[in-house]
Structure 1
Amino acid sequence: MHVVPLPRHLSPAGQGVLELGGSPRVAVPSGRLLGLGRIVAALLGGSAQVGGEAEVTLTLGAGDGEEYELVVTAEGATVTAGSAEGLFRGATTVAQLVTEDRTVPCVRAGDGPALAWRGLSLDVARRFFTVEQVKRVIDLLALYKFNVLHLHLTDSQAWRLRISAWPRLTGPESYTHDDYREIVAYAAERFVTVVPEIDMPGHVLAAVRAYPELGGEDEPAHPLVPFLDPRAEVTWRFVADVLGEVAVLTPGPYLHIGGDEAFGMPHELYAAFVTRALGLARAAGKRVVGWQEVSRSGALTSADLAQCWVGDGDAFDPEAARKTAPPQYHPLIDLAAAAFEQAPHDVPGAVAAGAAVLASPSRVLYLDRRYAEPSVLEEQNERRERVGFASYRPMTSREYFGWRPGELVEIPAGARLAGVEAAIWCETVGDFDDLAFLLLPRLAGIAEKAWTDRATTWEDYRERVRTHTARWERLGWGGYYRSADLFT
């Protein structure tokens, strides 16, 4: 029973198997859930119907949220949950139980998530992915019971979402409103919430190049790190337009305002900017998420989320950076070093303000780290030296599995843990296969940490996940890393 993430309870339930056949029927209790039935049927290669005899039956009953129960007998599989979301989570377990000969073992399962927020941050600013490619990401997230797709839509390299009143922000590789709505709707049908990020007041070179007035009258400390100047009134027209438009386009409850690495921005200007931006996002009816630095504003509340990202052992090393960077970048290194000196106080400050903490420490949740173990495919080993952030210490897939959410040293005692979120930054990603190379197989292990409420061993997880490769290929993820840790 090679299910990932491992359910809370999963045990055999008698002899025999359920024969699915070539086109299994999926029955839902009402026409209102027929759309869900069709999505589940697509997972299983079958058809959906309202009521009647079926190989897989989805039934509304007792339970809350994502909790579900599953019973598989030789006569059929029944998923029971108190919500459509719970039914879908149970259906993904059924999909993972299907064997190569189209049978499902007879089992009983009772299941539900350990953490409420289980996400992936996808950097579409540094590497643009088409709507169809983003849908493939959503399919992968849904299979592994993730429920958040955080879209990093803007950065110094590019701005990817069109804003009506500021047309120069975007180029050809960007999302129209209809594109964005299509992504959001596709995700919602699979119970994945899209959280859009507009990164500011730093990481705004693309915006300032398009509209130089946003940078104010003062020269930035370095030409590559302008910031949105809160003293310029045009800045607030811009921020209000952007956050207001993105909020209207986004039915989900969250809006991410970035807030990280505003290198060279004086503290008083940074605090003034973040305080006002928080207020605008709240006024748009959203709960606000920001990277851990937003706590430096002193304006967080218990309704906000601070995303912890600076991992223990991954602190910025200016001396090492100077050894490899050209001299013209040395002033940038000094600015970064000054900003990182404050990092140890960020998350405790957020906790003191009552904000919830979203765990994304780079040490175990940044997936742009290179693999330490070789691939069983020799041609992948060249890519292993090219794809991934060179400054991070390479880690094996086994090392990536060696943590638990409640034991992260980056999260202080007393923190209200909202959940965990992996992040994939795309400075070194050239195409979709590079994305697959970095995400898989490691993302599946993160799913287990976020969903399963007890410790599982590497050996057990390894035996389960190594059977998933055919599913990855069917979903369009054939570029996954053939890790020697898993596949030998």
Structure 2
Amino acid sequence: MAGGLVAALGVGLGVWASSDDDGTAPAGSAASRQAARTPGDTGAAAAQAPTPTPTRSYALSTTPRTIPAVSAHTPARGPGWKPQSTRRVVVSDAGLADEGRLVAGELGLTYAGEKDDVRAGDLRLALNDDEGANPESYTMTVRGGRVTISAPSDAGVFYGTRTLKQEVHAGGTAPEGVVRDQPAKPQRGFTLDIARKHFTAGWIEDRVRELGDLKYNQLGLHFSDDQAFRIESDSHPEIVSNPHLTKAEVKKIVDLAASRHITVVPEIDSPGHLGAVLAAHPELQLRNASGVATRGAIDISKDDSADLLDDLLDEYADVFPGAYWHLGGDEYQALTVSSPAASYPQLAAAAAARYGSGAGVADLTTGWLNDRADTVRAHDRTMRVWNDGFFRGTSVKPASDLVVAYWTGKEIGARPPVEYLSAGRKVLNYNDEYLYYVLGEPNDFAYPTGKRIYEQWTPRVLRGTTPVPAKYDAQILGGSFSVWCDLANSQTQDQIAAGIRMPLRATSQKLWDAGTPPLTWTQFTALANRLG
């Protein structure tokens, strides 16, 4: 009779734990204890079995709140999961050891390595064989007091650990259920101008950790400009400014970034923005027909100019081993005058000699970028060029594999984004209307707000405030929020970190999911403040 009453309570009131997905009862339930008896357990032995006690009834879980928000969550009933020092992180593949050790240290767990056994409270990291899946996708299952994060790649597993880290922040609980998550865009970046302003290695490392937790996967370093050249050089030490980063410091940054699945993307801008290099090589400075030096511009008619740049590109390819490279290409001052051929006859002559009598200075400039691309391509890199480094109507065409880094539509001869997209180019979004944090706010720039990015910007808004047609979405690889240090002393490092905090979070959300965010800006800000 007592057994019948218990069964009735279990069905009628829902106080018993539900079965696991395979149909077996949870450990400790009346049904599981019954199933554990041997066939001979009858009579007195059965009568001596302990009387089961009801377990707690759990409400259906709610979607975790994270930055960026997860793509999908299937709720379930259960206690969820919280980290404890006695709990383990185990991996199903030795290649996940770095991810396992990192999250174990962050959550105060014990890293146990590659294990097949299952214990209460385990956090298990695993690779799956989901062919064709987004390599950065992951599935996180919280069930039965354990967590499993599985993905097609170690990057996906890492992103799953970022979600878990946010869920349990400040004593929180990872909700029962299954998270299925993946980014909308494959390239999610932050660009830092370390040429105009020196940033300490420690400050950059702090940003790397912040970017990793927000699921960014690129850090751009613009380290050469008119004001300074900021990384140690062995091939041309004469061009290096003080203060600067040593190669040892850069290696530490690159290694830390790699541990967060972030690729560091270097930029040596040319043929403009080379003032610091030219200060040590005035013989390569571009001069107009009157002999007046053109600020920041190298004379691309000279073979020694190409040799110098190629030396640097080859040298830093070893310093930055990632898959991407930024060639620059913007604001070459020879092309901002009314008649480039008249102002710079040596460039016009070189263009005609190399490409024929109909070629002009824009052809020579395009050829320069193609040649630098050949140098970098030999190191197996994918390259990007600022949109104003592509020109209309040239006989020399830019290499077909160059990605357009679209930042402005304000330059002379500005071309709208659709021109590049309709020609089949892939594009990265650097829209200066939303994503440029320019120190001192010169030239009508205003410090961007996270609210405006969160509520108005999407990766399809490449220029101004108007999105390109949806049919081009797949060609837009992602985007980058950027800090440019035009008036370097306008803010300290700490002020910059505080100023970009919410814009970085808003950009992360919109690159991970370009749709309407699930939270209002007020709710999003409160969440960011809670997560730290």
Per the normalisation by structure 2, the TM-score is 0.74
Q: Which residue of 2 aligns with 1:46?
A: 109
**Among 412, 415, 424, the residue aligned to 1:341:** 412
| Correspondence 1:404 to 2:467 | no
Q: Which residue of 2 aligns with 1:305?
A: 403
Q: Which residue of 2 aligns with 1:5?
A: 68
- Summarize deviations over 1:229-251 as a string: whole Å, max 9, x none: 11122101101101111122222
**Among 126, 135, 143, the residue aligned to 1:59:** 126
Q: Which moved more, 1:60-69 or 1:148-157?
A: 60-69
Against the structure 1 CA distance between its residues 40 and 219, is the aligned structure 2 distance closer, same or farther, given a 3 Å change threshold? farther
**Among 325, 330, 333, the residue aligned to 1:260:** 330
- Asked whether the equivalents of residues 143 and 177 of structure 2 are also in contact (C-alpha less than 8 Å), the reply is yes
- Asked whether the equivalents of residues 213 and 234 of structure 1 are also in contact (C-alpha less than 8 Å), the reply is no
Distance 2:385 2:291 in 1: 23
- Summarize deviations over 1:121-170 as a string: whole Å, max 9, x none: 11111222222221111111111111111111111111112222211111
SS in 1 for 2:321: coil
- Asked whether the equivalents of residues 136 and 153 of structure 2 are also in contact (C-alpha less than 8 Å), the reply is yes
SS in 2 for 1:364: coil
| Correspondence 1:439 to 2:500 | yes
Q: Which residue of 2 aligns with 1:103?
A: 173
Q: Which residue of 2 aligns with 1:423?
A: 482
- Asked whether the equivalents of residues 60 and 80 of structure 1 are also in contact (C-alpha less than 8 Å), the reply is yes
Code of the residue aligned with 1:231 in structure 2: it is S
Q: Which runs of 5+ in 2 are unaligned?
A: 1-63, 341-360
| Correspondence 1:469 to 2:529 | yes
Q: Which moved more, 1:255-264 or 1:403-412?
A: 403-412
Against the structure 1 CA distance between its residues 47 and 303, is the aligned structure 2 distance closer, same or farther, given a 3 Å change threshold? farther
Calculate the aligned-residue CA RMSD, in Å.
2.6
What are the residue-to-residue correspondences of 1:198-237 with 2, within 5 Å?
198-216=268-286, 218=288, 225-237=295-307
Paired positions, count:
426
* 1:405 positional shift: 1.9
**Among 82, 98, 106, the residue aligned to 2:152:** 82
Code of the residue aligned with 1:452 in structure 2: it is D
Q: Which residue of 1 aligns with 2:260?
A: 190
Q: Which moved more, 1:125-134 or 1:213-222?
A: 213-222
Against the structure 1 CA distance between its residues 43 and 219, is the aligned structure 2 distance closer, same or farther, given a 3 Å change threshold? farther
* 1:352 positional shift: 5.4
SS in 1 for 2:219: strand
* 1:400 positional shift: 2.2
Distance 1:36 1:173 in 2: 34
Q: How high is the sequence identity, in percent, across the aligned residues?
A: 26
Distance 1:196 1:157 in 2: 17
- Summarize deviations over 1:336-363 as a string: whole Å, max 9, x none: xxxx221235x45543553311111111
Against the structure 1 CA distance between its residues 219 and 7, is the aligned structure 2 distance closer, same or farther, given a 3 Å change threshold? farther
- Summarize deviations over 1:368-412 as a string: whole Å, max 9, x none: 38xxxxxxxxxxxxxxxxx54572246553222122223545675
Per the normalisation by structure 1, the TM-score is 0.80
Against the structure 1 CA distance between its residues 127 and 81, is the aligned structure 2 distance closer, same or farther, given a 3 Å change threshold? same
Q: Which moved more, 1:355-364 or 1:290-299?
A: 290-299
Distance 1:219 1:116 in 2: 46
Code of the residue aligned with 1:445 in structure 2: it is A
Against the structure 1 CA distance between its residues 364 and 457, is the aligned structure 2 distance closer, same or farther, given a 3 Å change threshold? farther
Against the structure 1 CA distance between its residues 230 and 99, is the aligned structure 2 distance closer, same or farther, given a 3 Å change threshold? closer
Distance 2:290 2:259 in 1: 44
Distance 2:233 2:289 in 1: 26
* 1:30 positional shift: 3.5
SS in 1 for 2:76: strand
Code of the residue aligned with 1:391 in structure 2: it is D
- Asked whether the equivalents of residues 285 and 294 of structure 2 are also in contact (C-alpha less than 8 Å), the reply is no
- Asked whether the equivalents of residues 300 and 355 of structure 1 are also in contact (C-alpha less than 8 Å), the reply is no
| Correspondence 1:240 to 2:310 | yes
* 1:278 positional shift: 2.4
Structure with more relative contact order (C-alpha pairs < 8 Å, separation 6 or more): 1
SS in 1 for 2:479: strand
Q: Which residue of 2 aligns with 1:333?
A: none
Q: Which residue of 1 aligns with 2:163?
A: 93
SS in 2 for 1:251: coil
SS in 1 for 2:485: coil
* 1:465 positional shift: 4.3
**Among 368, 386, 389, the residue aligned to 1:273:** 368
Code of the residue aligned with 1:343 in structure 2: it is A
Against the structure 1 CA distance between its residues 288 and 173, is the aligned structure 2 distance closer, same or farther, given a 3 Å change threshold? same
Code of the residue aligned with 1:403 in structure 2: it is W
Q: Which runs of 5+ in 1 are unaligned?
A: 316-339, 370-386, 473-488
Code of the residue aligned with 2:317 in structure 1: it is A
